Amino acid sequence: MGGYKRNEKLSQFDFMIAGGGSGMITRALCQPLDVLKIRFQLQVEPISRKSISKYQSIPQAVNVVLHEEGLKAFWKGHIPAQWLSIIYGTVQFWAFETLSKKVNKWNFSSNISPVVNFSCGAISGVSATVASFPFDVIRTRLVAQSEQQKVYKGIVDSAREILRKEGTRVLFRGLWPTMVQVGPHAGAQFMCYKLFEELYARLAKSDGTTLSSSLIAGSLAGFFAKTLIYPLDLAKKRMQIQGFEEGRKSFGKSFKCSGLNDCLVKIYRFEGVLGYYKGLSPSLIKAVVTSALHFSSYEMICKFLVFSKG
């Protein structure tokens, strides 16, 4: 990114506004893909047309959700998801811009700029994850529950019930695999984004960041980064629904684990290697679209803020 080189007029508060705005826009447009991804990730049975599983393919899953739960189900858990995205985007981009600006003063060789972008991206991603994680747990619970067997009425009710029945620690259940996942994922995203953006500029012979360069670089960065860390993302989702069997009786087998290692071992034992990649297709579609929107909307908001400052 190295946004500080292009946005010299912008303050740290401006970066926070741009980051939060990009998170809000991206979440509103991509929430249906997130719902499908989570449903696939939490299903223990095979995702196959030859199976008796509830969800067998993306088109079939869309039809099932529409028939059983209606169109609104694709935005289930949207409010906590919006808080998650806004807080995450605000902290992530602010942290990255701040870190990269400080590192730039050390005058490292341009040859190691990918390493610098990866490191700054990883730290910013972990920081944003810790700040927004409780909303991720609440969002997952709301998306995971059946409309026919609702346990939570909404974000406030779910937070209150989780705290009353399970305690504060549950709001951070799955944080460790998430941090292990997000560090490399965010680092790879920022590193790949910068590399593809520079490659686009050379091929297109353009100067500066444009909407098309942000969209293309962002989508490619999202694809490669998501493929790298996907098994950990799936394990996180499985851990977040532990103790929530009541709301998932109509979805098939229950999955129980006692930690990250136990989760990964049980997935392999009962579902095989392919079990680590359940929901990969909608997840990759989501990653490509959200990453493209996330980076491009951030860049465009930054440009607007620079323009508004004259």
3 pLDDT tier (thresholds 50, 70, 90) = very low
Higher-pLDDT residue of 188, 173: 188
Please give the pLDDT value at position 31.
Answer: 87
Residues 6+ apart with CB under 8 A from 62: 36
Share of the chain above pLDDT 70, in %: 95
310, 83 contact by CB (below 8 A)? no
Q: Domain range spanning residue 230?
A: 3-308
Cα distances (angstroms) measured from residue 64 to each of 55, 73, 241, 293: 8, 11, 21, 28
For residue 266, pLDDT over 90 is answered with yes
Alpha carbons within 13 angstroms on the beta-carbon side of residue 214 total 19
- How many domains are there within the chain? 1
Mean pLDDT on 43-57: 83
Q: Of 166-175, 226-235, 247-256, 271-280, which range is least confident?
A: 247-256
4 pLDDT tier (thresholds 50, 70, 90) = very low
292 pLDDT tier (thresholds 50, 70, 90) = very high
117, 194 contact by CB (below 8 A)? yes
Where residue 278 sits, what CATH number does that domain have?
1.50.40.10
CA separation for the pair 56, 237 (Å, rounded): 19
For residue 2, pLDDT over 80 is answered with no
Across the chain, where does the E strand assignment appear? none
In the 8-state DSSP scheme, what is residue 300? H
CA separation for the pair 66, 250 (Å, rounded): 16
Higher-pLDDT residue of 108, 84: 84
Cα–chain-centroid distance for residue 40?
Answer: 15
Please give the pLDDT value at position 245.
Answer: 67
Which pTM was predicted?
A: 0.74
Residue whose C-alpha is closest to residue 188's, from 225, 214, 218:
225
Please give the pLDDT value at position 75.
Answer: 87
Helices (H), 105-174: 113-144, 155-165
Residue 272: is it exposed, middle or buried by C-beta count within 10 angstroms (0-12/13-18/19+)? exposed
